[in-house]
Amino acid sequence: MVDNNTIMESGKCIECGAKETDGLSCYEMFQFPLVWEHNDSKLYALHFWLVSCYMIQHPSNYTEDGYMHLVDLFTEAYDHEWDISFILRKNRELVSKIGKVTNPLPNCKRERLYRKWSMTIEDLYIGGEENAINKINKWKEQIRKDLKSQ
């Protein structure tokens, strides 16, 4: 299965390893919590973490510098417990120094490498809207642990 953003082979994302669930790719599952955020301001407050977790697991969306920026920003924000306004301010400051952040190649021409992750968007999607806040918090913890073990 190929959508415009992910490639699923044998029912799994070839980058993050999320299993196809309810006929949905990992990118399609990612759309659900983005909608759920509109129903809950506490969930929306975790938007940076939701998007960062997903994007860290899909580096083909970024240039090498853009991906390193995302990982560094995530790590610093997590380790130092930065509040969202500081994270966003820091992001704007750093992105202006990088240049191109997103991968300019057409989606079908991007190199994708598989990496095993402890948790993916599949876990958040399966947990449903009522568990999304807890699942995002768990996901960011797992991403941080996985990044340390690289």
Which tens digits make up the pLDDT trace of 2-40? 455 788 899 999 999 999 999 999 999 999 999 999 999
Share of the chain above pLDDT 70, in %: 97
* Digit-coded pLDDT (tens) for 99-114: 788 888 988 889 999 9
Mean pLDDT computed over every residue of the chain = 93
- Does a structural domain hold residue 82? yes
- Does a structural domain hold residue 105? yes
Run of H or E residues at 88: helix 84-98
Domain count, the chain: 1
Residues contacting residue 34 through CB under 8 Å, at least 6 positions apart: 50
Q: Which domain holds residue 141?
A: 29-109+118-148
- Does a structural domain hold residue 96? yes
Whole-number pLDDT of residue 64: 92
Whole-number pLDDT of residue 3: 53
- Does a structural domain hold residue 99? yes
- Does a structural domain hold residue 35? yes
